[in-house]
Structure 1
Amino acid sequence: MILLIDFMGLLACAFLLLLLAQHLRLALRARGYRPPPQADEAPPGILLQIPLFNEAASVEGALASALALDWPAGKLTIQLLDDSSDETSALAAGALARLPPGGPEVQHIRRADRRGFKAGALAEGLQRSDAPLIAILDADFRAPADWLRQAAAALAADENAAFAQFRFEFANRDLNWMTRGQQLSVDAHFLAEQAGRQAGGEPFQFNGTGAVWRRAVIEAAGGWSPDTLAEDLDLTFRAYAAGWHGLLLLDPPLACEAPADLASWRVQQARWSTGFVQVAVKALPLVWRSQWSLSAKLGSSLLLGLQLGLPCFLVAAAAFILDAVLRGFGPGHGTILCLAVLMVAGAAVAITLPPFRRLRRGGICSYGAVLAMIPVLLGFMALANSASVVIAPFKRRHDFVRTPKTGGR
Structure 2
Amino acid sequence: KGHFINFNGTAGIWRKETIIDAGNWEGDTLTEDLDLSYRAQLKNWKFKYLEDVTTPAELPIVISAARSQQFRWNKGGAENFRKMFKRVVSSSNIDFKTKLHGVLHLLNSTMFLNVLIVGLLSIPMLYIKNEYAHLRVYFIVMSFFVISTIIFFICYWYMYKNTYGGGFKNFISYIGMFFTFFSIAMGFSLHNSIAVIEGHLGKRSEFVRTPKFNLAAVGGNWKTNKYLKKKISRNVILEGILMLYFGFGMYSAFIVGDQGGDFGLFPFHLMLFIGFGFVFFRSITDKQ
Q: Which of the five TM-score ranges fits, normalised by the shorter chain? A: 0.5 to 0.7
1:351 matched to which residue of 2?
155
Deviation at residue 303 of structure 1 after TM alignment: 0.3
Matched pairs, number: 210
Residue 106 of structure 2 aligns with an amino acid whose one-letter code is L
- Relative to total residues, which structure has the larger strand share, 1 or 2? 1
CA deviation vs aligned residue, 1:98-124 (integer Å, no higher than 9, x gap): xxxxxxxxxxxxxxxxxxxxxxxxxxx
1:273 matched to which residue of 2?
74
Contact 1:324/1:330, CA 8 A, preserved across alignment: no
Once structures 1 and 2 are overlaid, which stretch shifts more, 296-305 or 218-227? 218-227
Q: Does 1:363 align with 2:188?
A: no
Residue 250 of structure 1 aligns with an amino acid whose one-letter code is E
Deviation at residue 340 of structure 1 after TM alignment: 5.9
2:192 matched to which residue of 1?
385
> Which 4+ stretches in 1 moved above 6 angstroms?
none
Identity of aligned residues (%): 26
CA distance in structure 1 between the aligned counterparts of 2:75 and 2:151, rounded to whole angstroms: 26
Contact 1:203/1:237, CA 8 A, preserved across alignment: yes
Change beyond 3 A, Cα 1:383–1:333 = farther
Contact 2:129/2:139, CA 8 A, preserved across alignment: no
Q: Does 1:315 align with 2:117?
A: yes
Residue 160 of structure 2 aligns with an amino acid whose one-letter code is F
CA deviation vs aligned residue, 1:372-396 (integer Å, no higher than 9, x gap): 1022122112121111211223344
Deviation at residue 323 of structure 1 after TM alignment: 3.4
Deviation at residue 349 of structure 1 after TM alignment: 2.1
2:26 matched to which residue of 1?
225
Contact 1:217/1:239, CA 8 A, preserved across alignment: yes
Q: Does 1:295 align with 2:97?
A: yes
User: Residue 55 of structure 2: SS of its match in structure 1?
Assistant: strand
Residue 15 of structure 2 aligns with an amino acid whose one-letter code is R
Change beyond 3 A, Cα 1:338–1:221 = closer
Change beyond 3 A, Cα 1:282–1:334 = closer
1:52 matched to which residue of 2?
none
Residue 117 of structure 2 aligns with an amino acid whose one-letter code is V
- Relative to total residues, which structure has the larger helix share, 1 or 2? 2
Residue in structure 2 matching 1:236, options 37, 41, 48 = 37
Contact 1:278/1:393, CA 8 A, preserved across alignment: yes
Change beyond 3 A, Cα 1:337–1:379 = farther
Residue 371 of structure 1 aligns with an amino acid whose one-letter code is F
Change beyond 3 A, Cα 1:389–1:218 = same
Change beyond 3 A, Cα 1:329–1:380 = farther
2:183 matched to which residue of 1?
376
Contact 1:324/1:333, CA 8 A, preserved across alignment: no
